Amino acid sequence: DVKVTQSSRYLVKRTGEKVFLECVQDMDHENMFWYRQDPGLGLRLIYFSYDVKMKEKGDIPEGYSVSREKKERFSLILESASTNQTSMYLCASNGWTGEQFFGPGTRLTVL
């Protein structure tokens, strides 16, 4: 079974803090994705990566950056957290078949 894990299920941070969200997949997938999910807005793509050290902006990259130093690990970074970044963050990965598998999500609250 494909396994995508995320470092935290729940996180509370203060405005202005630097926040790291980590994602690890164990299926040797090439592609990894970060989404945020908000009520009424659905899933929105923040960044994705096709390979180590490669990154592409998604639909809402402002205020975020990413890092992919190893194939299995994809990190999302909030350089200076703001209250409008309070959301559910979901990591996903897929291989050559295109089926995309998600992690359990991190619910981030920024106070």
Partner 1 sequence: QKEVEQDPGPLSVPEGAIVSLNCTYSNSAFQYFMWYRQYSRKGPELLMYTYSSGNKEDGRFTAQVDKSSKYISLFIRDSQPSDSATYLCASNFGNEKLTFGTGTRLTIIP
Which residue, among 28, 24, 20, has the nearest Cα to 51 in the 3D structure?
Answer: 28
Q: Does 103 bind partner 1 (CB under 8 A)?
A: yes
Count Cβ atoms within 10 A of the Cβ of residue 107 and give its class: 0-12 exposed, 13-18 middle, 19 or more buried.
middle
Q: Does 100 bind partner 1 (CB under 8 A)?
A: yes
| Span of 14-22, 62-70, 73-81, 99-107 interacting with partner 1 by CB under 8 A | 99-107
Window 43-62: contact mask with partner 1 (x via CB under 8 A): x-x--x-x-------x----
CA pair distance 101, 33, nearest whole angstrom: 10
**CB–CB of 82/75 below 8 Å?**
no
Question: Residues in the site for partner 1, rule: CB under 8 A?
Answer: 4, 31, 33, 40-43, 45, 48, 50, 58, 90, 94-105, 107
